[in-house]
Structure formats: structure tokens, C-alpha cells
Amino acid sequence: MLPAGRLETFRCDNHLPPQKWTNSINQDRKTSLLAWEKETGIELVQINGQRRYGGPPPGWVGDPPPAGTEVYIGKLPQDLYEDVLIPLFQSVGKLYEFRLMMTFSGLNRGFAYAKYSSHRGARDAIAALNHYPVRQGCAIVVCWSTQKRELSVDGLAASVSQQELEATLQRATQGILSVTLHASPRQRQAKLAVLKYSSHQAAALAKKALMEGNLRLRGSGMRVEWLHPDLKQKLQLWEERAPASQVQENKSLAAPKPLALPPAVQNMLDHLNTLRRRQCLGMPLFLTKCIRVNPNGWLQFWYQQSPSWHKELLCRSHN
């Protein structure tokens, strides 16, 4: 999962290389963290390279928060832990989940994710804590987090059917929303599947299971990756140009088929794609230009979507 916007590597004065992670510093930080856990009764669970609180937190009633309630936290000192971070991010809104990315050496990896109970909580966190100085000379970055929920599986046997693949994924993974089969762009006599999941976590667990070979799928040299935007656009263009008779002859060329529940419209790009399909428009062309950099850190962008819409957008530069 990556935050929206340009990619940039941040490093603050408190970044500690693993070889300099001394026992004395480690013990101080660990003692403080353990004392805080005991005092508050908060339970932290470490799994798959991250340490997690909540999801849901104690006393939570109801469904998980909707999409768009999670923020990305970057430029963290690597010896800063939940005993400081969770109270800080709880001070601006009700937390549903907090995830700190960890290394094997006991350092954090310099970034974390905080999911709030509402969109307002996430907005308030960005407004209040972006560029917040957690230590002298070390201000953190807080911005919206975007979640990857789609996988591409290339190299499936040409004999694999839509029904077979759906049944296998439903048995072995959680949160699968849609499965689409295409001819592989890389291998002859092979197929590529696009899998859409209900959340980033569900997609990440499915990706792990597929890469470890835990699912019995027929194919050789399978490649499991996050769905790249360029590949997604090419597949959509191919679907739009394919003759109707060809689509009917081969179910692998059909549009995504919902399984248990239809995929929800999660973001503005989904809204745009839904609108263009209804109006039978082609793939849009996006043009962007930075107009102004404000002293408070905001960048003003102009962007245009061809053929018909344009508007202005204010967004904060982030990792």
C-alpha cells in the first residue's frame, strides 16, 4: 500500500542504521513501550513485518470504517514506537487501527498507517499532524493513504476456466470481489487473471498465498503482482475494442464478474470509469501541471481530463 502522490524517499536526523541500534537504546525504548502497554492494557500484535493495534479496537461495535479513512505517516524516527504514536494520533480522532511497519532488528521502518472511525478523523489528522515535530529537527509527514486492492496473475494454463478459478479463490482467500480472465500479454497459450479484493489487507494475504504456491492453480512460471495501472488500461482498451462475438465465444474476455457482492465505488477514479462506460466514452487522457507552491506546503495543480472536463485541485506533496 502506498500513499497517493509522487514517490520520494525521506530521511530525518533520527534515522538509525540497523548496525547502530545499540542494546542500551533498544532497552530504553522497549522498557518504555512495555510499561505503556501494561498501564493502558493495549495489546499490540506483530505479524508479517508490521505491529498492529485494533482493527477493530476493544469495544468497537458495527462494521469497519469505509474506504478513505486511513492516513499514511512517514519520516518517523526509527526508534519511535506506539507508546508515543498512538496517543498522538488518538488526540485528533477515534482510531480504528494503527499499523507500524517493523524490521527484524527491532527498528520501525520509518512509516506507519492510522485508520480512523470516520473521514473527518482522517482529515483532522492530516490537518493537525502533517509536519508535526515529534522530536527536535524531525517533523513527520501525514497524508492520505491509497490502498492497492487488485492483483494480476500471469502464466495460468490456457485450460483454466473462469468458474474453476473463482471456486479456488473463494475457498482459499477472503474478500474476493471479482475475477477477470484475459489472454496473457507475455506468454503464448497462457492466461492472465485480474483479481479484485475488498481491502488491501485481503489482497496482500491473497498475494502472499499465491506467491507461496499455497493455491493449486494450473500454470507454469506464474507471476503474481499488484495490478499495474498501465496493464489495467491496456486490458480495458482491449475489452472495448474486442468484437462482441469474440467476447461471447470466450468467457475469459468478459467484463469483471461480481462474486458475493458487487464491488463498491471506492474513489473518484471509479466514479469516472463508471461514468465513461455509461456514456460509451473511450479511455480518458489526463494532463497535469503544477501552478503554484504555497508557503504553507500546499501545491496547486491544474489538471485536465480529455475530452470534456477540467478543474483545479489543491493537494499536499507527500511520499
Residue 147 has which C-alpha cell? 490502498
- Range 281-306 average pLDDT: 67
Residue 198 sits at the vertex; the CA angle it makes with 149 and 278, to the nearest 5 degrees, is: 80
What letter represents residue 42's amino acid?
A: I
Asked whether the predicted pLDDT for residue 256 surpasses 50, the reply is no
Of 312 and 190, which is predicted with more confidence? 190
Instruction: Say how many domains are in the chain.
Output: 3
21 and 132 assigned to the same domain: yes
219 and 310 assigned to the same domain: no
116 and 158 assigned to the same domain: no
Instruction: Tell me the residue length of the chain.
Output: 319
The residue out of 118, 146, 174 marking a domain boundary is 146
| CATH of residue 131 | 3.30.70.330
288 and 178 assigned to the same domain: no
pTM above 0.75, yes or no: no
- Range 235-261 average pLDDT: 52
**Tens of pLDDT along 296-309?**
556 676 766 665 44
d(CA 233, CA 66): 26
- Range 223-245 average pLDDT: 78
**Tens of pLDDT along 46-77?**
987 889 999 999 999 999 999 889 999 999 99
What average pLDDT is seen over the chain? 77
Instruction: Please tell me the predicted confidence (pLDDT) of residue 310.
Output: 39
Beta bridge partners, 181, equal 193
Do strands 257-258 and 285-293 pair parallel, antiparallel, or not at all (unpaired)?
unpaired
Q: Nearest Cα to 49, choosing from 214, 208, 165?
A: 208
Q: Report whether 125 contacts 169 (CB < 8 A).
A: no
94 and 178 assigned to the same domain: no
Q: Report whether 275 contacts 309 (CB < 8 A).
A: no
61 and 82 assigned to the same domain: yes
Instruction: Please tell me the predicted confidence (pLDDT) of residue 307.
Output: 53
What letter represents residue 143's amino acid?
A: C
The angle that helices 23-40 and 82-90 make with each other, rounded to 10 degrees, is: 40
Instruction: Tell me the C-alpha to C-alpha distance, in Å, between residue 2 and each of 6, 175, 319.
Output: 10, 20, 8
Half-sphere CA count of 266, side-chain side, radius 13 A: 19
94 and 194 assigned to the same domain: no
8 and 138 assigned to the same domain: yes
